[in-house]
Structure 1
Amino acid sequence: MKWKLDDSKLVYGIGSKDLYYLDINKEGKLELVLDGQRISFEKIIETFQEKTKYDDASFALRIPQLISSQIEKLITAFAEAREKYNYQSKYYPIYPIKVNHSKFIIETIIKSHPTYGFESGTKSEFILLLQALKNEKHRLIMCNGAKDREYLQSIKEAIADGFKICISIESEQEIIDTLDILPQENYQLAFRIKPYVTLHGHWGASSGRNSKFGLAIGELHDVIDILEEKKVTHLLTMLHSHPGSQITDLEGFERFATFVAKIYKLLHERGFTKLKTINFGGGLPIDYDNRLDEDFMQKYAEIFVKVLSKKLPKLQPIIMTESGRAITALSTLVIVKTIDRYSMFSEAYYDKTLGVAYWGKKAAKHKEVSSARDVLKKWSSWERRKPPLDFLEGLNDYEYITLELKRELRKLFFGFEDFEKQLDKVEAKLFLKPEYAIQGNFSVFNSIGDLVLVKQYFPVIPISSLNQRPETIVRLFDITCDSDGEVAVYHSPISDKKLFTEDDFQLTFTKPFSLGGFPIGDLEELKDSYLVIPLAGAYQDIVEFDHNLLGDLPDVLVALDGEWRIELLNGAQSISSLLADVGFICDVDDDPYYDNGKKSDK
């Protein structure tokens, strides 16, 4: 069957859901699409090389318009939900800057919406926001996290300076210190409560009674008593709770919203009549593996509006959310320069008449199989065999025959009806490991650290040869001296359409399954090409670590202002600064990255 562009789009998730801004042209080149205008990644890379000193560098691509479009999408989703349920109160979005503190992110959010609020979780983040919002004091700053007396003193000074602030209370001591240091006017309080429901998602464990964050019910009673005793109930304007992060459980969101709505009603009945807002925190996910509903964000918004319409029809509180990942993840793509390829097996034989014939005869017995289960048994049996170690040529021919056997068995494996029943077995995962690897000039730890820290999935897409059937699947090695420095997982699309690589790796399945490598169109081409890792704009710039003293990649801005604008935002992190962090001084003459990376006009 002839391979189609739509097949590649399915395999890589291109052009749909959270990769809607990517497309493939007729030549099989990957394109960026903004406002109907297209530019190939080859052109972006070519311009980067023309304007900078970095000939073989990877870089981070920053696209502010994708932040603006996500903001518009979120606000539109809640506007449509409010109209659907005739919900009269407003929706107010907040950005938690812990997700990405980058200046271009914060400035883009400010430019994208006139009242978008911000959340700080530490004193350092609070000071950052005071700087960023010095001319935007009408925007709400939510102060979450632990707040010592020094932090509260800074908040007091900001209130006196005219900033609009809401302090989220999470302990009895915190409310005591807050009321002791701050005045009794010109700011708001929020009670942050533990969500007594459990939701499913990557960080769903942060919900429920055992959550790290929020007041337990007993503590809620204590802080209520303190507000009533101090006669400052008017300060409480918001109920706040957080369901967890990257939550993919829509039914869980409904249970969560119902719980918070009930607590809100009980507080109103207790006499907290100035309570006007429910802050539902974060949790809105990004579709990293292209498996969520197309309209997930719309369904997410409708859940909160529907629940409040039914549970609080007369009160109708203002709805607030703190989506971070959903706003920034799309805005950064890591563009990885490939510099080498490796084969796990021998690709050519040494002695056809002796070694190949000898081992080929023995391998033939392992090809007599009657089921996918039988394939795994025969392969495991072959792998338990002791390889010949008498001379290198014999070992080479053994590995050559092993590769041939593996490929023939793989084709048979996917042809048997029982293969899906075997997919979750350890033997199947070993059997379906890639036979090739690509090395990229980057550090996993610095560019997509969550891959190592929390096993976060990131898709990987070649920039060319997307108009042909993938040749095989590969692992991506970084240049660190660490075995965790690789991208070696591919979440296969769920589809009834069966698609295969040229060497018979099945790429699509009827149920969720992950392969140990991602598909690529032309293996030889990737000795000197580029790969794109999208959805890297949330947390990756924050959790990065300089393993092997490999620092930040260059930052490249791409924007569409009538015409395409491509410019270097920041050069690669200098070796001098990396060494200074560990207490050493580097002579500038020994540092190839001492300047900003731009080419001289001379």
Structure 2
Amino acid sequence: MNDQQHVVKQHDWSCADARVLYAMDKWADGFYSVNELGHVSVCPLEGQELHIDIMDVIREARSEGTSLPMLIRFQDVISSRVRRLNHKFQMAIRESGYKGTYRSIYPIKVNQLQEVVAEILEAGQEFNIGLECGSKAELLAMLPLITDETLLLCNGVKDRTMLILMLNAQQLGQQVVPIIEKYSEFEHLMSLAETRQMKPRLGVRLKLNTKGSGRWFESGGTSSKFGLTIPELVKLIRQLEDRRMAKQLELLHFHLGSQIADIQVLRSAIREITQIYADLMLRGMHIKYVDVGGGLGVNYGGDYDTPESSINYGLREYANVIVYTVKEICDERQVPMPHLLSESGRALTAHHSVLVVPVLGVHRPDSLPIADFLADAPAVVSRMAAVFRDAQSAQKSNMLLECYHDAQEIRQETEQMARLGYLSVEYIAQSDSLYWSICREVLRKLAAAELVPVPAEQMELEKQLTDMYLGDFSVFHSIIDHWAIGQVFPVMPLHRLQEKPERRGQLVDLTCDSDGKVNKYVSMSGTSDFLFLHDLRRDEPYYLGIFLVGAYQEILGDAHNLFGRVDEVHVYARAEETNGFWIEELLKGISVKEMLSQVQYFPNDLGRRMSEFIRRQINAGRIKPAEGTRILNNYTQRLGDTTYCDSYFEESS
């Protein structure tokens, strides 16, 4: 928090200061910046200096009928991420002299939306990218999309139906590989294959001794939910050897978790899996692939002690650790080098989506103008006014702290008198307004003094004087991982960044849940409890962007308070287009009637019931027929609205 204050207070403001204040170097990864207009811009194309102003996208989308909040997908960012990942592995393979190849695999559970998967497949075509699915629905969705050359790995719990689908795909010549997670799956697969007189292709996931790192550490290690133990692996291999099917085991797989925070943990797991691979190859097996699983992390900008939000390595180091470690062991054991696979999902999709959140209003402790103070105020109010004058004149930190302590004592006395009925509402309001004015004055001067160490009172005041900015969105739908696991997402204003933001704010959502707020923010020194924001201007919108929401959030989001899917805008960068982009597609979010239908409130039935109720009121003489018709029409029209507050500032009938 001190670092942020230092930036805001030390010198004249510039757009470069905004990039520093919101720690964009930590999380933007070269895709997001601030332009000379003070707007956040996107540079989606790898190696090109084409920048798209997000405010231009919002204006164009709004002109075409899109509602707020909106999710903007910069589809070219996905392509850039796919190319960047594959190029890093190609470089590592070339520089190390590795004798195998690399293929990236996209696990669709990260974001199953068709347009996301299609963009990844198109971008990854030159790299022969593969897919991974983990459920029956995902498998059925992917089978028609893959070519004969696309590798489709099938993880997760597999029932008879799924195993039959996989065998059918293999009969059709598709590169579908079931990854055995439980020994019983192997038995069922072999039984079904035997009835077809097939030799099925398969892989196995192993429970390594190496545990994962970060929040999802239990995905690795011997106590993980999925995977075969080493004794089970040996048992499976013996079965294959007895059936003369040793060549059918094509793949060894492990998974350390969704976000690997520590590169050394990955290195340890790769050494372990490669030693197992070498043993099996020396035994006479013909394993083609070593799959290092998911977990390529994304730096959301948080502290290193919050591993769900930060990592201690970059993409190049990630690729080098995998390639060089496998090569080293294969050279030592004198076995062929396998083809390498990694299941990167978060790293491919997180950066491409931005949630645009309009601010609907601000709540802060109210202060009455000094002129409103009554001359005949009780002594307790007069004493508070005297402390306020002292705070205005005080310059030394010890004097400021004394004013704050005095104000706290007087406030306690005021509260006690109010409970006993000795103070009127007017005097309570005066005392409370003076108290907050004292707090603001003390904090302003303490922050300017840049004291080291920071007084505890200053940190207490920073927390007390944080405004609540009401955003038109739902934490539980759009960034559920923030509520569920404390995931930090970068949040910042999308415009007005040429101005110094001097309000301390927390972003709260529309839901009636006290947890519906963003209470951790990316800062230069790690994370902060507040975000520097601008004062709202009358009749002028104020937009915040929540970044890196392209992985998991849309699929995991729930419908708390029946807030559902927001409008989507799909954007492609094109230098020849006005403002450097074109909107390929606009997708409307879920309507009120669609959301109600999901919880068994059907619009036709609701309309009928409301019509009958209004008719009874007309018959009872409470309203006139024309007024009843107007009210009914308004009700039925609202059923087609967005679930969010797009018309918050508009007069509604």
Query: TM-score interval w.r.t. the shorter chain?
Result: 0.7 to 0.9
Residue 441 (structure 1) aligns with = 472
Q: Is the 8 A contact 1:4 1:468 kept in 2?
A: yes
Structure 2 CA distance, aligned partners of 1:377 and 1:116? 64
Match of 1:476 among 480, 502, 507: 507
Structure 2 CA distance, aligned partners of 1:205 and 1:347? 55
Residue 148 (structure 2) aligns with = 137
Structure 1 CA distance, aligned partners of 2:407 and 2:223? 46
Q: Is the 8 A contact 2:182 2:226 kept in 1?
A: no
The answer to whether structure 1 residue 403 and structure 2 residue 436 are counterparts is yes
Structure 2 CA distance, aligned partners of 1:82 and 1:330? 26
Q: Following TM superposition, by how much is the alpha carbon of 1:468 offset from its aligned partner in structure 2, in angstroms?
A: 2.5
**In structure 2, the residue corresponding to 1:278 is in which secondary structure?**
strand
**In structure 2, the residue corresponding to 1:2 is in which secondary structure?**
coil
Q: Following TM superposition, by how much is the alpha carbon of 1:212 offset from its aligned partner in structure 2, in angstroms?
A: 1.6
Q: Following TM superposition, by how much is the alpha carbon of 1:401 offset from its aligned partner in structure 2, in angstroms?
A: 3.0
Query: Taking structure 1 as reference, are residues 45 and 515 closer, same or farther at Cα in structure 2, changes over 3 Å only?
Result: same
After superposition, the C-alpha distances for 1:333-368 in whole angstroms (9 at most, x for unaligned) are: 111122111113436454175476421445789998
**In structure 2, the residue corresponding to 1:247 is in which secondary structure?**
coil
**In structure 2, the residue corresponding to 1:168 is in which secondary structure?**
strand
Structure 1 CA distance, aligned partners of 2:410 and 2:231? 62
Aligned residue identity for 1:5 = C
Q: Following TM superposition, by how much is the alpha carbon of 1:431 offset from its aligned partner in structure 2, in angstroms?
A: 4.9
Residue 412 (structure 1) aligns with = 446
Structure 2 CA distance, aligned partners of 1:476 and 1:90? 46
The answer to whether structure 1 residue 454 and structure 2 residue 489 are counterparts is no
Structure 1 or 2: larger helix share? 2
Query: Taking structure 1 as reference, are residues 53 and 565 closer, same or farther at Cα in structure 2, changes over 3 Å only?
Result: closer
More displaced stretch, 89-98 vs 7-16: 7-16
Match of 1:359 among 380, 384, 407: 384
Residue 31 (structure 1) aligns with = 41
Match of 2:88 among 69, 77, 82: 77
The answer to whether structure 1 residue 321 and structure 2 residue 349 are counterparts is no
Q: Following TM superposition, by how much is the alpha carbon of 1:23 offset from its aligned partner in structure 2, in angstroms?
A: 2.1
Structure 1 CA distance, aligned partners of 2:460 and 2:254? 40
Structure 1 CA distance, aligned partners of 2:427 and 2:279? 78
More displaced stretch, 115-124 vs 178-187: 178-187
Q: Is the 8 A contact 2:472 2:510 kept in 1?
A: yes
After superposition, the C-alpha distances for 1:402-453 in whole angstroms (9 at most, x for unaligned) are: 3234334444377332239x69xxx946753552111122211111111112
Structure 1 CA distance, aligned partners of 2:49 and 2:220? 40
1:32-431 matched pairs, under 5 angstroms: 32-34=42-44, 35-52=48-65, 54=67, 57-114=68-125, 115-133=128-146, 136-182=147-193, 187-272=200-285, 274-289=286-301, 296-313=314-331, 314=334, 315-346=336-367, 348-349=369-370, 350-351=372-373, 354=377, 357-361=382-386, 387=415, 389=418, 390-410=423-443, 411-412=445-446, 415-419=450-454, 428=459, 431=462
Q: Following TM superposition, by how much is the alpha carbon of 1:162 offset from its aligned partner in structure 2, in angstroms?
A: 2.4
After superposition, the C-alpha distances for 1:561-586 in whole angstroms (9 at most, x for unaligned) are: 34211254311212222111111211
Structure 2 CA distance, aligned partners of 1:126 and 1:440? 37
Q: Following TM superposition, by how much is the alpha carbon of 1:235 offset from its aligned partner in structure 2, in angstroms?
A: 0.8
Q: Is the 8 A contact 2:52 2:573 kept in 1?
A: no
After superposition, the C-alpha distances for 1:491-511 in whole angstroms (9 at most, x for unaligned) are: 3213xxxxxxxxxxxxxxxxx
Which structure has the greater CA radius of gyration? 2
Aligned residue identity for 1:288 = Y
Residue 466 (structure 1) aligns with = 497
Query: Taking structure 1 as reference, are residues 386 and 342 closer, same or farther at Cα in structure 2, changes over 3 Å only?
Result: same
Match of 2:560 among 530, 539, 547: 547
Structure 2 CA distance, aligned partners of 1:180 and 1:333? 48
Query: Taking structure 1 as reference, are residues 526 and 251 closer, same or farther at Cα in structure 2, changes over 3 Å only?
Result: farther
Structure 1 CA distance, aligned partners of 2:640 and 2:535? 36
Q: Is the 8 A contact 2:502 2:533 kept in 1?
A: yes
After superposition, the C-alpha distances for 1:5-44 in whole angstroms (9 at most, x for unaligned) are: 2221012233665352222222312222333223322211
Q: Is the 8 A contact 1:571 1:595 kept in 2?
A: no
Structure 2 CA distance, aligned partners of 1:375 and 1:558? 54
Query: Taking structure 1 as reference, are residues 479 and 293 closer, same or farther at Cα in structure 2, changes over 3 Å only?
Result: closer
Structure 2 CA distance, aligned partners of 1:374 and 1:351? 23
**TM-score after normalising by structure 2:** 0.80
Residue 499 (structure 1) aligns with = none
More displaced stretch, 136-145 vs 198-207: 198-207
Match of 2:30 among 8, 20, 43: 20
**In structure 1, the residue corresponding to 2:327 is in which secondary structure?**
helix
Q: Is the 8 A contact 2:262 2:312 kept in 1?
A: no
The answer to whether structure 1 residue 515 and structure 2 residue 549 are counterparts is no
After superposition, the C-alpha distances for 1:461-515 in whole angstroms (9 at most, x for unaligned) are: 1122212322122111211111111112213213xxxxxxxxxxxxxxxxx3x32
Where does structure 1 lack aligned partners over 5 or more consecutive residues?
495-511, 598-602
Structure 2 CA distance, aligned partners of 1:251 and 1:371? 51
More displaced stretch, 281-290 vs 357-366: 357-366
Q: State the superposition RMSD in angstroms.
A: 3.1
The answer to whether structure 1 residue 537 and structure 2 residue 550 are counterparts is yes
Q: Following TM superposition, by how much is the alpha carbon of 1:219 offset from its aligned partner in structure 2, in angstroms?
A: 2.6
Structure 1 CA distance, aligned partners of 2:550 and 2:342? 19
Q: Is the 8 A contact 2:468 2:506 kept in 1?
A: yes
Q: Following TM superposition, by how much is the alpha carbon of 1:213 offset from its aligned partner in structure 2, in angstroms?
A: 2.1
Q: Is the 8 A contact 1:194 1:207 kept in 2?
A: yes
**In structure 1, the residue corresponding to 2:487 is in which secondary structure?**
coil
Match of 2:588 among 547, 553, 571: 571
After superposition, the C-alpha distances for 1:191-238 in whole angstroms (9 at most, x for unaligned) are: 101232234323234322222221223332332333233332111111
Q: Is the 8 A contact 2:16 2:34 kept in 1?
A: no
Query: Taking structure 1 as reference, are residues 61 and 382 closer, same or farther at Cα in structure 2, changes over 3 Å only?
Result: farther
Q: Is the 8 A contact 1:95 1:117 kept in 2?
A: yes
**In structure 2, the residue corresponding to 1:432 is in which secondary structure?**
helix
Where does structure 2 lack aligned partners over 5 or more consecutive residues?
1-10, 304-309, 608-632, 644-653
Aligned residue identity for 2:69 = S
Structure 2 CA distance, aligned partners of 1:281 and 1:244? 8
More displaced stretch, 308-317 vs 379-388: 379-388
Structure 2 CA distance, aligned partners of 1:341 and 1:24? 25
Structure 2 CA distance, aligned partners of 1:555 and 1:68? 19
Q: Following TM superposition, by how much is the alpha carbon of 1:127 offset from its aligned partner in structure 2, in angstroms?
A: 0.2
Identity of aligned residues (%): 27
Aligned residue identity for 1:572 = G
Query: Taking structure 1 as reference, are residues 87 and 430 closer, same or farther at Cα in structure 2, changes over 3 Å only?
Result: farther
Residue 559 (structure 1) aligns with = 572
